[in-house]
Structure 1
Amino acid sequence: MKMLLSSEETPNFAMRNFIIEAGGHMPLHTNAIEHEQYVISGSALVQIGDKKVTAEAGDIFLIPAGVSHSYETIGDESYSFLCLVPNKEDSIVLVG
């Protein structure tokens, strides 16, 4: 994860860039705050709650606070996305 705009720099939202290498994943988890995401490159199977979708460049997702989500890359390319989060306290809980 690369911090692009931190909560110290901006009044309302932080902006981060996540890159998950080919063959990688981020396990199912929840956050106490919402996430707005924009896919830059690559593709991944993204689970948000009970729904699974194939995410590709240009896709946009809203992950509401408290909703479980995970990522699993597809293919030989890294999956890169921008993630905006409110400047509020967050807690991450692994699911399962």
Structure 2
Amino acid sequence: MFVSHRDLIEKKQISEYVTKQVLVSPKEGWKDHVMRMFTLEKGGKAPHHSHPWQHILYAVEGKGNLFMEGKDYPLTPGSVAYVPDDADHQVSNAGDEKFVFICIVPERGDQ
């Protein structure tokens, strides 16, 4: 069993504008998957990329944008998105405040 709060979980600076937290992983007992939280400061974005695993996004705070397969999808708190295997995508902050989202991937997606 594992219980915590996001404010107590280590934050790893990925770039000047992006922070990552591993909320739940096999280390905490969730076999085969990892739940991460990303915080994108104003101007923050992930690079365009694709990978051979699917993942799920859930917007927590702020305004974001998911660019996937040539189309933009606005994200606001409560928005969910499924990104299939090998889909070209990018997540970015679309507002003036921080954008926070959860991303769930198979364990190999967080290596």
User: Does the alignment reach a TM-score above 0.5?
Assistant: yes
Alignment of 1:8-87 (within 5 A): 8-9=27-28, 10-87=30-107
Q: Which portions of structure 1, spanning 4 or more consecutive aligned residues, are displaced by more than 4 angstroms? A: none
Higher-Rg structure is: 2
What is the one-letter code of the residue matched to 1:86? P
Identity %: 28
Q: Secondary structure at the match of 1:23?
A: coil
Q: Which runs of 5+ in 1 are unaligned?
A: 92-96
Q: Which residue of 2 aligns with 1:4?
A: 23
Q: In structure 2, how many angstroms separate the alpha carbons of the residues matched to 1:68 and 1:7?
A: 27
Quote the RMSD (CA, aligned, Å). 1.8
22-31 vs 56-65, which deviates more?
22-31
Q: Which residue of 2 aligns with 1:94?
A: none
C-alpha contact 2:64 2:74 (8 A) present in aligned 1:
yes
Query: TM-score, normalising length from structure 1?
Result: 0.84
Q: Taking CA–CA contacts closer than 8 Å with sequence separation of 6 or more, which of the two structures ends up with the larger relative contact order?
A: 1
Query: TM-score, normalising length from structure 2?
Result: 0.73
Q: In structure 2, how many angstroms separate the alpha carbons of the residues matched to 1:41 and 1:31?
A: 25
The structure with the greater share of residues assigned to strand is: 1
What is the one-letter code of the residue matched to 1:76? D
Deviations 1:8-30 (A, max 9, x none): 33113211101111111111101
Deviations 1:46-85 (A, max 9, x none): 1011221111110000001110111221221111011111
The structure with the greater share of residues assigned to helix is: 2
